[in-house]
Amino acid sequence: MAGPKAGRLAVPVVRRRGDAGFSRVSWDEASVLVARDLRTIDPRRLGWFRTSRGLTKEAYYAHQKVARFLGTNHIDTSSRICNGHSATGLKATIGIAATTC
């Protein structure tokens, strides 16, 4: 696995109310905090967005299963937005400008 890219966080951090900045936390604590906060969100207000870069169809499938497990149908991907050329080609060849995976 390659090292962290410039500008990307390599460790989880959290900002707590009243703190002046962010504090480093363990991966276990970050997971607990995320799980706790996800439970409080009304699924009708939850959106699930994923990148289109380098993901397999199996990864897309797993992502949508997680989103649906959380109770939301609001699932999107950047491939819908940034692949206009693909949409044009799909429309011309199969009659619909939607991704096939």
Confidence (pLDDT) at 93:
81
Is 65 inside a domain boundary? yes
Q: How far is it, in rounded angstroms, from Cα 95 to Cα 89?
A: 9
Which range is least confidently modeled, 23-27, 39-43, 54-58?
54-58
What would the DSSP string read from start to end of 38-73? HHTS-GGG--EEE--TT--HHHHHHHHHHHHHTT--
Q: Are residues 35 and 50 in the same domain?
A: no
For 44-85, what is each residue's pLDDT tens digit? 888 888 877 767 888 888 989 999 998 998 888 776 666 667
- pTM to 2 decimals? 0.55
Is 5 inside a domain boundary? no
Q: Which domain holds residue 53?
A: 43-101
Q: Are residues 96 and 73 in the same domain?
A: yes
Q: Are residues 88 and 55 in the same domain?
A: yes
Confidence (pLDDT) at 5:
64
pLDDT at residue 12 above 80? yes
Q: Are residues 63 and 52 in the same domain?
A: yes
Domains of the chain: total: 2
